A and B are shown apart, each in its own frame.
Chain A
Amino acid sequence: MHPILKTILQRLGLGLLTLFVVSIIIFSSMQFLPGDFATAVLGQSATPETVAAFRKELGLNDPAVVRYIQWIGGVVQGDFGSSFSGRSAGREREVMELIAPRLWNTLFLAGLTAAIAVPLSLALGITAALYRNSLYDRTINATTLTTISFPEFFVAYILILLLATLWKVFPSLANVRPDTPLMDRIYMCALPALTLTLVIVAHMMRMTRAAIINLLASPYIEMARLKGVSSSKVILKHALPNAWAPIVNVIAFNLAYLVVGVVVVEVVFVYPGIGQLMVDAVSTRDIPVVQACALIFAATYILLNLFADIVSIVTNPRLLHPR
């Protein structure tokens, strides 16, 4: 078997094991949440009888182990169960039905942001390394550090003020619908994507710059210089291939953040993503939804890290052909 394929399979197996452990942690931590759906939904009108009826209907009276096995058994078959809220006689809301459109929205926004942020930060990082310690380098560094230092909602407000209220370039709300055409969708998501770009660019750009500068001190780079290769070629052809491993790791980390951690941006721009769904589900103790969201987030981290590892292996001959 090809060594890369073997590594991928090994990592996927380990990923599944991690996911299984995570599922146990998620499930048991849900048991520690004070109150339950019945009391959260019924509020002031929660009499002992109605709470008991609710708990029975939702199957909350079974022992935790039984409920866990039922849940994980369903998840393995792709069935995340049905939401506690919005139930009435003969009508249930499937968790996947709730999550799917919002997960798609979140992935779309993450993808759009990545399409802007990743090339931008690579370009900025490489040029900053090329002209290091110049005015250009310092300006880029100072600007990106400034934008990463502000809280996300503040960056969002500033962008809304400039680009939506004072100059009406983009809409201030990104409330996309499932049937919004692609171009409209991109236009509506411009401000949230821009906000997230400003928040993540610094991390990736500085890692690119640092990784390349680190290599520029190596003897083989000096050799390249001595044989008369231009400095841009030195960086692109000689330094960059060896710098991919740390850069890709940081990119993967930031992409994962774009999927799981953007609830503040979602709220400010009224973007129907998965973060707001999870926050609402936690506050009403809609446990099946919370568990499904948490599991999806865990899987995102595992997959993106796997991707980063594979890229580091593929780009590094010493890891690709171990002795």
Chain B
Amino acid sequence: MTISFIKMKQLVSTGKMSRRDFVQLSMAAGMTAVAGENLFNATARATPKKGGHFKSGLGHGSTTDTLDPGTWENSMVSDIGNIAFDYLVDIDTKNNVAPALAESWDSSDEVDRWTFQLRKGVEFHNGKTLDADDVVASINHHRGEDTKSAAKSILAIIKDIKTDGKDKVVFELNSGSADFPYVVSDYHLPIMPAKDGKIDPQAGIGTGPFKMENFEPGVRYSATRNENYHGESWFDSVEMLTILDVVARQNALQSGDVHFIDRPDLKTVQLLKRNAELEIDQVTGFGHYVAPMNVTMAPFDNVDVRLALKHCFKRDELVNKVLLGYGTPGNDDPLAPSIKYAIDPEPKHQYDPEKVKFHLKKAGIDRLKVDLSAADAAFAGAVDAAILMAEHARDTGIDINVIREPSDGYWSNVWMKKPWCFSYWGGRPTADWMFTTAYAAGVDWNDTFWNNARFNELLVQARSERNEAKRAEMYTEMQNILHEDGGIIVLMFNDFVTAHSKKVAHGELNSNYDHDGGYMYRRWWMA
């Protein structure tokens, strides 16, 4: 019986068996008609098929947006990168680098010289064939003195880019970086056709699965299938709409005007869930809310005070009250669980009055009094989170004095100025990238002013280590050091919450960015 079902399912998914036949056979096999019908739907939905016009309603977009990838700063325009364009490499659902326009890559032993082998026979929408010059020009658009690109700083590691024949590109780096392929997956770096060594950033022409049809900044972007696409995609055409108002966005989804929306109102997601035609997706991304302590200032210069504070509040209650459950409690490790080399350091930091008393005693403090600066500019609900923490901490012998700061100017007047405050990280796709941005000694955004010799030493070593096992060992040690000694309290990871109509279906979702990592337009299909 089971075998025949599997066969039937195969026939359905390849389109060789009709709904009627399927249901009749299921009934003959002893199932009810409804069960057979449901099984047919589930099986048919699970198989991608071509066709349909996909519409998304996004809570981003402004009339000042442009097609120049150097200026992309919201996901309405950054999604274009995966509609009309391709990148050298993609990020897969496990956050590994996957081939895209580059079919393979290799590095020198010092990992300071990377060679990317390009896929052959790829054509741009204007008929030009992709070659190495296009890649060089596309990356160089974001480098150099007079560029206004937002990707300039992450490309500072590149010393030189050269072509090696028609389908090889060589990157010379200033120093070794084993994670370099992640850098060229950045959404600012789509590949465009070059003419005389320059790209036309406003033309909107790429190698992607869809050709741009219409772009009205702050209103819509639409594109139709590229028949010459080198890969797979399902929709005949796609359309993005900017719907800034959250209620309007949810209404558009419910009335069927769009198939997908991002950022639904978390307070009313429960009501959307009740609608049988909709599906809510929840993905833990890299983004996290933190409470950085300045370890150069008293009392936070004492590691026992830091440990006492890490144990003085109930993390799951913060997730339930501030994120309404759409998140995961943090464990003072800024790497999201889905990032390569991420661990869950032991012992897990959670509310524990005994440990607070133990560490305070060790620090020679009877009752600890600290100020915590908070404003909702750090993240939505930051002030509520601070008050909750103060309530929890009072019984453990710590008095947290919550100072409500103005949201305006928070990042210039409070963050990295006050000894203890709140902040937010969008997260980075690799351990090295995250640590180098915020925890290496002396970097601009080291908001805890933490300087740990062993950690810094390991950071440099791990960056150019090619042996996976050794690298994993180093990152494990670094996460443990940061967990125990660091000045960062990672409160929680927030989830990407999106909603879509059951008329569209998808496979496993990416977690590097919202919108299935930006890949939904090419990966999803009409059910």
Contacts A172-B257, A267-B244 given: A160-B251 contact, CB under 8 Å? yes
B70 to chain A, nearest CB (A): 9
Q: How far is the CA of A29 from the CA of B457 in the complex (A)?
A: 54
**A303 lies within 8 A of chain B by Cβ:** no
Stretch from B20-28, B147-155, B384-392 contacting the other chain: B147-155
Could you say which interface size class chain B belongs to?
35 or more
Interface string of A263-284 (1 = CB under 8 A from B): 0000111101000110011011
Q: How far is the CA of A69 from the CA of B337 in the complex (A)?
A: 59
Q: Which of A279-294 contact B (CB under 8 A)?
A: 280-281, 283-284, 286
**A157 lies within 8 A of chain B by Cβ:** yes
**B217 lies within 8 A of chain A by Cβ:** yes
Stretch from A40-48, A116-124, A200-208 contacting the other chain: A40-48
Q: Which of A77-94 contact B (CB under 8 A)?
A: 83, 85-86, 88, 91
Chain B residues within an 8 Å CB radius of A53: 146
B190 to chain A, nearest CB (A): 15
**B458 lies within 8 A of chain A by Cβ:** no
A190 to chain B, nearest CB (A): 13
**A161 lies within 8 A of chain B by Cβ:** yes
Chain A residues within an 8 Å CB radius of B446: none
Contacts A160-B251, A270-B243 given: A284-B216 contact, CB under 8 Å? no
**B10 lies within 8 A of chain A by Cβ:** no
Q: How far is the CA of A157 from the CA of B153 in the complex (A)?
A: 44
Q: How far is the CA of A183 from the CA of B219 in the complex (A)?
A: 21
**A144 lies within 8 A of chain B by Cβ:** no
Q: Which residue of A lies closest to B242 (CB)?
A: A270
B78 to chain A, nearest CB (A): 15
Query: Chain B's interface: helix, strand, loop or mixed, by majority?
Result: loop
**A304 lies within 8 A of chain B by Cβ:** no
Chain B residues within an 8 Å CB radius of A91: 202
Across the interface, B63 reaches (CB within 8 A) one of A43, A45, A280, namely: A280
**A98 lies within 8 A of chain B by Cβ:** yes
Contacting pair A177 B214 (CB below 8 A): yes
Q: How far is the CA of A168 from the CA of B251 in the complex (A)?
A: 11
**A111 lies within 8 A of chain B by Cβ:** no
Across the interface, B202 reaches (CB within 8 A) one of A86, A161, A173, A281, namely: A86
Q: Which residue of B lies closest to A173 (CB)?
A: B257
**B451 lies within 8 A of chain A by Cβ:** no
Contacting pair A98 B243 (CB below 8 A): no
**A315 lies within 8 A of chain B by Cβ:** no
Contacting pair A85 B248 (CB below 8 A): no
**A316 lies within 8 A of chain B by Cβ:** no
Could you say which interface size class chain A belongs to?
35 or more
Contacting pair B62 A280 (CB below 8 A): yes
B433 to chain A, nearest CB (A): 16
A281 to chain B, nearest CB (A): 7
Contacting pair A165 B63 (CB below 8 A): no
Across the interface, B148 reaches (CB within 8 A) one of A50, A153, A164, A173, namely: A50
Q: Which residue of B lies closest to A286 (CB)?
A: B64
Chain A residues within an 8 Å CB radius of B248: 160, 172-173, 267-270
**B173 lies within 8 A of chain A by Cβ:** no
B242 to chain A, nearest CB (A): 7
Q: How far is the CA of A171 from the CA of B241 in the complex (A)?
A: 14
Q: How far is the CA of A43 from the CA of B319 in the complex (A)?
A: 30
Interface string of B60-72 (1 = CB under 8 A from A): 0011101010010
**A175 lies within 8 A of chain B by Cβ:** yes
Interface string of A49-83 (1 = CB under 8 A from B): 01001100000000000000000000000000001
Interface string of B280-319 (1 = CB under 8 A from A): 0000000000000000000000000000000000000000
Q: Which of B174-219 contact A (CB under 8 A)?
A: 201-202, 214, 216-219
Q: Which residue of A lies closest to B70 (CB)?
A: A88
Across the interface, A175 reaches (CB within 8 A) one of B62, B150, B241, B245, namely: B241
Contacting pair B150 A277 (CB below 8 A): no
Q: How far is the CA of A85 from the CA of B248 in the complex (A)?
A: 27
Q: How far is the CA of A42 from the CA of B64 in the complex (A)?
A: 13
Contacting pair B73 A175 (CB below 8 A): no
Interface string of B228-266 (1 = CB under 8 A from A): 000000000000011111011001101111100000000
**B220 lies within 8 A of chain A by Cβ:** yes
Contacts A45-B153, A276-B63 given: A88-B251 contact, CB under 8 Å? no
Contacts A85-B64, A171-B257 given: A272-B202 contact, CB under 8 Å? no
Contacting pair A86 B245 (CB below 8 A): no
Q: Which of B31-83 contact A (CB under 8 A)?
A: 57, 62-64, 66, 68, 71, 73
B80 to chain A, nearest CB (A): 14
Contacting pair A45 B152 (CB below 8 A): yes
A275 to chain B, nearest CB (A): 11
Contacting pair B254 A165 (CB below 8 A): yes
Q: Which of B142-168 contact A (CB under 8 A)?
A: 146, 148, 150, 152-153
Across the interface, A98 reaches (CB within 8 A) one of B63, B201, B214, B258, namely: B63
Across the interface, B255 reaches (CB within 8 A) one of A86, A98, A168, A283, namely: A168
Q: How far is the CA of A281 from the CA of B63 in the complex (A)?
A: 8
Chain B residues within an 8 Å CB radius of A153: 245, 247
Q: How far is the CA of A280 from the CA of B62 in the complex (A)?
A: 6
Q: How far is the CA of A25 from the CA of B202 in the complex (A)?
A: 35
Q: How far is the CA of A251 from the CA of B111 in the complex (A)?
A: 73
Contacting pair A165 B219 (CB below 8 A): no
Across the interface, A284 reaches (CB within 8 A) one of B62, B153, B214, B247, namely: B62
Chain B residues within an 8 Å CB radius of A41: 64, 71, 148
Contacting pair A157 B63 (CB below 8 A): no
Contacts A88-B202, A172-B255, A172-B257 given: A268-B216 contact, CB under 8 Å? no
Contacting pair B201 A88 (CB below 8 A): yes
Q: How far is the CA of A286 from the CA of B66 in the complex (A)?
A: 14
B125 to chain A, nearest CB (A): 19
Q: How far is the CA of A286 from the CA of B152 in the complex (A)?
A: 24
Contacting pair A42 B148 (CB below 8 A): yes
Q: Which residue of B lies closest to A91 (CB)?
A: B202
Chain B residues within an 8 Å CB radius of A172: 248, 251-252, 255, 257
Contacting pair B251 A164 (CB below 8 A): yes
Contacts A172-B255, A277-B63 given: A88-B241 contact, CB under 8 Å? no
Interface centre among B64, B68, B73 (most CB of A within 10 A): B64
What are 24 A-B pairs with beta-carbon distances under 8 A?
A41-B71, A43-B150, A45-B150, A50-B148, A54-B148, A85-B64, A88-B68, A157-B251, A160-B248, A160-B251, A164-B251, A171-B255, A172-B251, A172-B255, A173-B57, A173-B252, A173-B258, A175-B220, A268-B247, A269-B248, A270-B245, A270-B248, A270-B252, A286-B64
B-to-A contact residues, CB < 8 Å: 57, 62-64, 66, 68, 71, 73, 146, 148, 150, 152-153, 201-202, 214, 216-220, 241-245, 247-248, 251-252, 254-258
Known: A153-B245, A270-B242. 13 other contacts (CB 8 A): A41-B64, A41-B71, A42-B148, A86-B202, A88-B66, A161-B251, A164-B251, A173-B257, A177-B216, A270-B243, A280-B218, A283-B62, A284-B64
